[in-house]
Chain A
Amino acid sequence: MTVADRTFEAIIFDWDGTAVPDRAADAEPVRSRVEALSQAGVDVAVVSGTHVSNIDGQLRARPAGPGRLYLCLNRGSEVFAVDEQGPQLVWRRTATPEEDARLDRAAALTIARLAATGLMAVLVSQRLNRRKIDLIPEPEWADPPKARLAELLDAVTERLRSHNIPNLGAAVELARDAAREAGLDDARVTSDAKHVEIGLTDKSDSARWVLDDLWRRGIGPGLVLIAGDEFGSMGGVTGSDAWMLIPEASRSFAVSVGQEPEGVPPGVLHVSGGPAVFVALLDDQLSRRECKRVPAVDEDPAWTLAIDGEVPELERVHESLLTLADGNFGTRGSREEDGEASDPLVVAQGIYSNPTGGLPALLPAPSWSDLTIEMAQPVKQRRVLDLRTGVLLRESASAAGSLRTFRFSSLANPGVMGLRAEGPAETLDAKPDLAPLSIAANSGGIAAATWTTSRTLDSRSTVERLARYLANPHQLPTVEEVVHGSQGLRERGFDRILAAHRAAWASRWADAQISIEGDPEAQLAARFGLFHLMASVADIGEAAVGARGLSGLAYLGHVFWDAEVFVLPVLAATHPTAARAMLEYRIRRLPAAQAAAAASGLCGARFPWESAGDGTDVTPRSARNHDGLLVAIPTGEYEEHITADVAWAAWHYAQWSGDSQFLSGPGRSLIAETARYWTSRVRHDSSGSAHLDGVEGPDEYHVPVDDNAFTNVMARWNLRRAAELAMRDGQAAPGEEIASWRKIADALVDGYDPTTGRYEQFAGFFKLEPLVIADFAPPPVAADVLLGPGRVAGAQIIKQADVLMLHHLIPDEVAPGSLLPNLSFYGPRTAHGSSLSPAIQAGLLARAGQPDDALPLLRLALRIDLDDLTGSTAGGLHLATFGGVWQALAYGFLGLWPAANGLTIHPQLPGEWTALEMTVRFAGQRVSVRAEPDAVTICAGAPVPVCLGGGSAVEVGPAPVQFKRKADAWERVTP
């Protein structure tokens, strides 16, 4: 029996009256189906008020998995997990002696008040965490079957009315008042018509426990079927199964197979028919599994990006937005049949090719998602990307019928992809499999193969495809390698691979939560960016993170400072192994960086502005500009700050992760070799001051310049950290060298003027034409295009934060109190012509105590790809902008910073937000911080030091600690 055209991942159901007619019935029909569902990967939870002996004794299911079976019993007070060995208690709510006493008191009060009306009621048993009062202790009604429920209700109502209690609801209210009087403010008072029960838990606790367990494995409530027989009210009392319809279950599909004499609540489908119909529902779900039907997506508006309709002009943008990636392989969200407007692509991180001798670019791999779909004049087109579980659903409808496709790129098993499709036979056909092949890149390459099964039944076709890709930047994977293991892959099957993928995403999000209460649009956009960041970075080996990640070929997959300065902090704070893999990419290219320095007659290591496979500089030396002119590209030669940026990333990773081994090993090499570069790169003047001539800062409108403050201060920071690290590890460098690092660091000029509190962006900047961008156009604007490169070069108009990047990256290295004067000076001069700029400025404004001014810039950054504000999202997503957004939220609005003495927190919320909550990993622990306008709540997996609002460090552990704002300080209000 089909009640919903949806394949559920979990089924929660009531026992008595729903699964079985009564406690004496043979439960074999349910048992066999529960075990089959478990084998098919479906989770099942039985919810009942009774105890485990009753339910397990009747059900006797012994599922082998992988789907889980839970018995949620004793009216929400216990949960048992059942496997082949039988039930095991996994959770129990244990009443304190005080609570037990209050329950006794509440029951006694209830019985006494009923007695006061002349009605005799009896306390029949003392169940776990509840007291059960029989309202009709008469032999005829000692154990009424479900079939006599209506009669029972009439009898109880008649009995109550005869004692001036209008109905069952009034009796429940009487008990609730008694419970409150007994000191139970959150008592759960329920009735099954015969009894009134006063308890500490009810079925809502069961539903909440199960939904929470499912959520942690990537199964949202929209993938859950809730079945019962008593959702409707009864005699003025909420139906017992309605307690399962908690707010968190709002997207679950609820169905009643009961009689429901008073109807069902809105949103519940009433099919009646009792256990026989319920069993038919289970059969329908088993059939869908058997037929390999397309899975469903939990369309939570807080987690899904939906694209409706078809706009050919925007198709390539949408394909970028809908990219699926597993850290190693990325697949654009092209329709399975591609089409004229489409730009499909599969790429592997770090696999570059330049067959024509040009610049290396990411090597396109063959597609795994092609299908033949011929759908004339679709009346509906819809694609939904579920950010929480990394799956892409497509639904199309035409006169021929509906078509669905569903795919994922496994985060749990990078390189494994899955696709299912279903639709009218004349519309859908599987293309031939991708025969195992391998494609050579400059170095290494990619191997791939797909395995497809399809069938047609009743004029509808279903297709299931598994794909396996291997990539190796050093050695070409062979066809044999990709085929090897495929048998196991296919035996494991689509459903299990999908379940592991969903669970992997849920686990990833658990360490990277972002909630912005009061601003759902910003919240979704922030999650969208974080989703793509997490999907774009491998966490094993080395991770070459190109400017557009794995979502397009723009920027050729080249690695810029975007990786270290914008992307890496997010991973360092949420998934440190991925940040470590990004650093490994640089570590393995340290010899190339050393060679680059040596080629210029310098020491140490100089990292390239653009890097690909071998670590040499691959920055184009010329290109056409917006004037249509071929111009020299100076960044490769002058934008040397990337060398210090790499060192900063290594240090920053260690600050978040606490990975001291890294800083004692390969991390120290990165920091020391980059420091050595600066020692040889500086020029000393006659006064002993050190200078860096001929460089380019983040503001690329002015080049070359001397003594760029950003470059100089980053180099100074680099030198000091190298010295600090060497000393920490027992003089890991010669003493003279350490002294030299310190001396040069101290000698480097930084352009700071203590009288104004400003840094001069570079030597001579203050003498340029004093323009502000608002004189020409409202920012953001590409000022070099608007005014011409020559005009901006002679003016104080800047592309993006330059001096202010120092305040963003190394706030302890800049002059105290210099943030505000530099914000007020450089802010109006910033055109934000770089997509990196708005988010950083937003974070700085928030950090400076101006969160309401920061919000428009944050929103601008949040929409850069969603609204294609650059006009180039079709070529891939702006990962650095996503990283900037996360940093604006974490470092700006929440004021997080991984300091040596603990995690500092200094929230600054805009007026429109009611709360900002983020989860990070600090020093190996998961830390959640929730900031409200006047309160901050923090908890951690294990005790970690935190410093709130500039106060001294306090330890916070698993128990949430709340602080309230009192004047300018934060006061701890929970122990």
Chain B
Amino acid sequence: MSKTVIAAVDNTAAAGPVIDTALSIASIFGADVEAVHVREDGVTTVTALAKAAKVPLRLLEGPPAQTLIGALRDSPTLLGVLGIRRTAAGHHPIGHIVLDVVQHANRPVVAVPPQSGPRIPRPLRRLLVPLDGTAVAANAVDEMVQQLCECGVQVLALHVFDAERVPRFSDQPQHEVEVWEREFLARYCRQPGTRLHTRRGWASSAVLEVATAEHADMIALGWAQDLSPGKAAVVRDVLRKATVPVILLPLSEQPGIGTAIRPADVGTAGPGRSATSRLSSG
């Protein structure tokens, strides 16, 4: 059974970029695209859009968010694509349906920002992968990144040093940075040809800045699907301000196999701590 990319479309201008993005991703994975629409009012616009894009349209009934979440659960579904908000100048920076869906979907979701100008379908060539230096986050994006990389997508990794992730030591930057970056990639993003960018400051600002500067076509974020107050500030901020699609990848349930490259508190953990535990002598 071939995989399907679900494109959730509505009757607004946001639907066009959603279809385009779904087609772009599906072509990479060799997947089919199915447009789905939760009937709220008329279907003329979405029918025309699907027809123009030559993708089948499935009409669904029910509460929009729950219905889309249910559609994404279908076994052939690879991922879902939906709009972040209806218009570029929309009142709400992130639509409530997308917020609901991304928190509860059991598949990756690509959130697509609306475009203010005419539609310019962009092939997916460059993927920006922000990594916080934990195995958990790396594991969340690893499989998707690997598949995209194998399909010729260039991976740009990004690590942002903020107050939470500042290194303890940095001896001679002319050597240290290179060594540190090499090991960072070896641990957290082993795809050949990956370039690591580093920034200092607010993570979301850096993500958006690098995405623009490096002409990324999509941003991949691993996350815990929790938008409660105080959580996922980076995801929320990036969704609000991104000008390219953002793929949200749920964190893996499996425990991390490594430890953050930024060491934890002395005496509690660190990459070498487990390494030096002893067996009793013979």
Q: Mark B141-161, 1 if CB is under 8 A from A, else 0.
A: 000000000000000000001
Known: A306-B279, A865-B272, A875-B183. A785 touches B263 (CB 8 A): no
Least Cβ distance of B84 to chain A in Å? 27
Enumerate chain B residues within 8 angstroms of A554, measured Cβ to Cβ: 175, 179
Within 8 A of A (CB), among B154-190: 161, 163, 166-180, 182-184, 186-187
Q: Mark B242-279, 1 if CB is under 8 A from A, else 0.
A: 00000000000000011101110011011111111111
Question: Which segment, of A437-445, A575-583, A775-783, A890-898, faces chain B?
Answer: A775-783
Enumerate chain A residues within 8 angstroms of B175, measured Cβ to Cβ: 547, 554-556, 558, 620, 623
Within 8 A of B (CB), among A278-334: 299-301, 304-309, 311-314, 316-318, 321
Q: A299-B282, A560-B172 are in contact. List 19 more A-B contacts (CB 8 A).
A: A222-B282, A301-B281, A307-B275, A313-B135, A314-B271, A341-B186, A554-B179, A555-B172, A626-B177, A635-B174, A780-B168, A781-B168, A836-B171, A863-B267, A866-B273, A866-B275, A868-B271, A870-B169, A871-B180
Interface of A is mostly: loop
A631 to B272, CA, bound (A): 31
Enumerate chain A residues within 8 angstroms of B166, measured Cβ to Cβ: 777, 781-782, 785-786
Least Cβ distance of B281 to chain A in Å? 4
Task: Give 8 pairs: A residue, B residue, CB < 8 Å, sorted on A.
Answer: A623-B173, A867-B270, A868-B263, A870-B167, A872-B179, A872-B183, A874-B182, A875-B179
- A627 nearest in chain B by CB position: B200
Whether a CB of chain A sits under 8 angstroms from the CB of B2 is: no
* A314 & B263 in contact (Cβ 8 Å cutoff): no
* B275 & A318 in contact (Cβ 8 Å cutoff): yes
Least Cβ distance of A151 to chain B in Å? 39
A751 to B187, CA, bound (A): 47
A282 to B191, CA, bound (A): 55
A623 to B279, CA, bound (A): 43
Enumerate chain B residues within 8 angstroms of A317, measured Cβ to Cβ: 271-272, 275
The 5 closest A-B pairs by CB, nearest first: A313-B258, A867-B270, A868-B271, A867-B272, A782-B170
* B262 & A871 in contact (Cβ 8 Å cutoff): yes
* A316 & B186 in contact (Cβ 8 Å cutoff): yes
Enumerate chain A residues within 8 angstroms of B273, measured Cβ to Cβ: 863, 866-867
* A314 & B173 in contact (Cβ 8 Å cutoff): no
Enumerate chain B residues within 8 angstroms of A306, measured Cβ to Cβ: 276-279
Enumerate chain A residues within 8 angstroms of B270, measured Cβ to Cβ: 863, 867-869
* B257 & A780 in contact (Cβ 8 Å cutoff): no
* B272 & A301 in contact (Cβ 8 Å cutoff): no
* B167 & A871 in contact (Cβ 8 Å cutoff): yes
From B171, B198, B278, B282, contact of A626 by CB (8 A): B198
Enumerate chain A residues within 8 angstroms of B282, measured Cβ to Cβ: 222, 251, 299
* A835 & B274 in contact (Cβ 8 Å cutoff): no
* A626 & B173 in contact (Cβ 8 Å cutoff): yes
Whether a CB of chain B sits under 8 angstroms from the CB of A486 is: no
Least Cβ distance of A410 to chain B in Å? 25
Enumerate chain A residues within 8 angstroms of B267, measured Cβ to Cβ: 859, 863
Whether a CB of chain A sits under 8 angstroms from the CB of B228 is: no
A635 to B172, CA, bound (A): 9
* A782 & B168 in contact (Cβ 8 Å cutoff): yes
From A251, A301, A859, contact of B278 by CB (8 A): A301
Q: Mark B221-257, 1 if CB is under 8 A from A, else 0.
A: 0000000000000000000000000000000000001
From A311, A777, A786, contact of B274 by CB (8 A): A311
Enumerate chain A residues within 8 angstroms of B258, measured Cβ to Cβ: 311, 313-314
A856 to B266, CA, bound (A): 9
Whether a CB of chain A sits under 8 angstroms from the CB of B125 is: no
Whether a CB of chain A sits under 8 angstroms from the CB of B3 is: no
Enumerate chain A residues within 8 angstroms of B169, measured Cβ to Cβ: 780, 782, 832-835, 864, 869-870
Most buried by A among B169, B175, B184, B278: B169
* A785 & B272 in contact (Cβ 8 Å cutoff): no
* A874 & B178 in contact (Cβ 8 Å cutoff): no
A832 to B199, CA, bound (A): 22
A835 to B263, CA, bound (A): 13
Whether a CB of chain A sits under 8 angstroms from the CB of B280 is: yes
* B263 & A872 in contact (Cβ 8 Å cutoff): no
**Chain A residues with a Cβ closer than 8 Å to the other chain, count:** 69
A183 to B170, CA, bound (A): 65
A528 to B247, CA, bound (A): 46
A305 to B272, CA, bound (A): 12
A140 to B279, CA, bound (A): 54
A-B contacts, CB under 8 A, total: 189
A308 to B253, CA, bound (A): 25
* B170 & A784 in contact (Cβ 8 Å cutoff): yes
* A301 & B280 in contact (Cβ 8 Å cutoff): yes
Residues of A within 8 A of B (CB): 222, 251, 299-301, 304-309, 311-314, 316-318, 321, 341, 343, 382, 547, 554-556, 558, 560, 619-620, 622-628, 631, 633, 635, 777, 780-782, 784-786, 788, 832-836, 856, 859-860, 863-875
Enumerate chain A residues within 8 angstroms of B179, measured Cβ to Cβ: 554-555, 872, 874-875
* B281 & A222 in contact (Cβ 8 Å cutoff): yes
Least Cβ distance of A61 to chain B in Å? 30
Known: A251-B282, A869-B168, A875-B183. A626 touches B200 (CB 8 A): yes
Enumerate chain A residues within 8 angstroms of B183, measured Cβ to Cβ: 316, 871-872, 874-875
Whether a CB of chain A sits under 8 angstroms from the CB of B39 is: no
* B161 & A873 in contact (Cβ 8 Å cutoff): no
Enumerate chain A residues within 8 angstroms of B58, measured Cβ to Cβ: none
Whether a CB of chain A sits under 8 angstroms from the CB of B197 is: yes
* B281 & A251 in contact (Cβ 8 Å cutoff): yes
Enumerate chain A residues within 8 angstroms of B271, measured Cβ to Cβ: 313-314, 317, 867-868, 871, 873
From B171, B259, B279, B281, contact of A382 by CB (8 A): B279
Least Cβ distance of B139 to chain A in Å? 11
Enumerate chain A residues within 8 angstroms of B272, measured Cβ to Cβ: 314, 317, 321, 863, 865-869, 873
Enumerate chain A residues within 8 angstroms of B263, measured Cβ to Cβ: 867-869, 871
Least Cβ distance of A625 to chain B in Å? 5
- A525 nearest in chain B by CB position: B276
Enumerate chain B residues within 8 angstroms of A631, measured Cβ to Cβ: 173
Enumerate chain B residues within 8 angstroms of A382, measured Cβ to Cβ: 279
Known: A865-B272, A872-B183. A785 touches B167 (CB 8 A): yes
Least Cβ distance of B157 to chain A in Å? 12
* A785 & B163 in contact (Cβ 8 Å cutoff): no
From B173, B186, B278, contact of A874 by CB (8 A): B186
A871 to B167, CA, bound (A): 8
A839 to B26, CA, bound (A): 56
Enumerate chain A residues within 8 angstroms of B266, measured Cβ to Cβ: 856, 859-860, 863, 867, 869
A734 to B126, CA, bound (A): 70
* B199 & A785 in contact (Cβ 8 Å cutoff): no
Least Cβ distance of A912 to chain B in Å? 14
Enumerate chain B residues within 8 angstroms of A872, measured Cβ to Cβ: 176, 179-180, 183
Least Cβ distance of B165 to chain A in Å? 9
Enumerate chain B residues within 8 angstroms of A311, measured Cβ to Cβ: 257-258, 274-275
- B188 nearest in chain A by CB position: A313
Enumerate chain B residues within 8 angstroms of A780, measured Cβ to Cβ: 168-169
A312 to B275, CA, bound (A): 12
Enumerate chain B residues within 8 angstroms of A786, measured Cβ to Cβ: 161, 163, 166
From B174, B180, B257, contact of A623 by CB (8 A): B174
Enumerate chain B residues within 8 angstroms of A863, measured Cβ to Cβ: 266-267, 270, 272-273
A313 to B185, CA, bound (A): 10
A724 to B183, CA, bound (A): 49
* A626 & B186 in contact (Cβ 8 Å cutoff): no
Within 8 A of A (CB), among B182-214: 182-184, 186-187, 197-200
* B200 & A785 in contact (Cβ 8 Å cutoff): yes
Enumerate chain A residues within 8 angstroms of B174, measured Cβ to Cβ: 619-620, 622-623, 633, 635
* A875 & B182 in contact (Cβ 8 Å cutoff): yes
- A343 nearest in chain B by CB position: B186
From B163, B172, B281, contact of A777 by CB (8 A): B163
Enumerate chain B residues within 8 angstroms of A625, measured Cβ to Cβ: 173, 177
A316 to B270, CA, bound (A): 14
